[in-house]
């Protein structure tokens, strides 16, 4: 199971796609406004994501 903060990041990431259907600078700026340390969550997923069952 992923930490709840990582789950929150995934949800925010997907919700921001409703406004920006891409990974543009505006997309990441909005993600960063909501979750300032989102790069830590990305790193957790990079290291541990292959162990998750969804």
pLDDT number for residue 2? 94
Give the Å distances, CA to CA, from 1 to 6, 37, 52. 10, 20, 6
Does the residue 54 lie in any domain?
Answer: no
Q: What is the pLDDT along the chain (54 residues), one digit of tens a residue?
A: 899 999 999 999 999 999 999 999 999 999 999 999 999 999 999 999 999 987
pLDDT number for residue 16? 99
Q: Domain span at residue 40?
A: 4-49
State the Cα–Cα distance between residues 53 and 48, nearest whole angstrom: 11
Does the residue 12 lie in any domain?
Answer: yes
User: Under 8 Å CB-to-CB from 6, ≥6 apart: which residues?
Assistant: 41, 44, 45
Does the residue 33 lie in any domain?
Answer: yes
pLDDT number for residue 54? 72
Total domains present in the chain: 1
pLDDT number for residue 41? 99
State the Cα–Cα distance between residues 47 and 44, nearest whole angstrom: 5
SS3 17: coil
């Amino acid at each position: 199971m992923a930490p709840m903060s990582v789950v929150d990041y995934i949800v925010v990431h997907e919700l921001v796609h409703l406004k920006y259907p891409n990974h543009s600078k505006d997309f990441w700026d909005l993600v960063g406004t909501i979750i300032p340390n989102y790069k830590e969550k990305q790193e957790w997923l990079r290291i541990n994501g292959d162990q998750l069952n969804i």
